[in-house]
Amino acid sequence: MKSPILAVAALALTVSSIHGAQDKNKLPAEVDAALRTTSTAVLYSLEPWAEPDAPGKRLHRYKILGQTMLEQKQTASAIAEFKTAIGHWNGVLAMCFDPRHGLRVTANGQTYDLLLCYACNQLYVYRGDRLVTSLGVTGSPRVLNDLLAAAKIPLSKSGEKP
């Protein structure tokens, strides 16, 4: 009889831990304010599996496949996707971090970069060159991929089946 009781207790503890983590899964106030006040942003397509010495520009050590300056409506759409991914996080994280999307916003003289990995369910937030926080995310890259494709920016093919 103890086995089912222990299983229920373990499940309750796990759900409680995930719920507690979700409560803390929020953007820092300064980053949230920057996202609310910016009207333009740069959206990046990243290649997480590039060799460290591969030529090309990098965003926080990840190879940039391309980038596009978003107009106001596109910026709002991209920011909404990032916020939705954070808000809908289901508590699951993978141990890897292979971001394929990045978003750069500038506000009040500060630059913030948000690197997103839907495969790993993680988002890293940088202020300048310094990692500020990492958050859990859930969702689909469809909207961000559509914005990049509309600008004729290539997407990462790493991890795809041939």
Per the domain annotation, does 156 fall within a domain? no
- Supply the CATH number for residue 103's domain: 3.30.1490
What pLDDT shows up at residue 18?
A: 46
Per the domain annotation, does 1 fall within a domain? no
CA distance 116 to 44: 10
What pLDDT shows up at residue 52?
A: 84
Per the domain annotation, does 132 fall within a domain? yes
Question: DSSP states of 93-143 as a string?
Answer: --S-----EEEEEEETTEEEEEEEETTTTEEEEEETTEEEEEEE----SHH
Angle between helices 29-37 and 72-87 (to 10 degrees): 150
What pLDDT shows up at residue 22?
A: 65
Q: How many structural domains compose the chain?
A: 1
Print the domain residue range for 94: 27-150
- pLDDT values of the chain reduced to their tens digit, one per residue, 162 residues: 444 444 444 433 344 344 456 679 999 999 999 999 999 999 999 999 999 888 999 999 999 999 999 999 999 999 999 999 999 999 999 999 999 999 999 999 999 999 999 999 999 999 999 999 999 999 999 999 999 999 999 999 987 755
CA distance 31 to 107: 9
Calculate the CA 7 to chain-centre distance: 33
What pLDDT shows up at residue 54?
A: 86
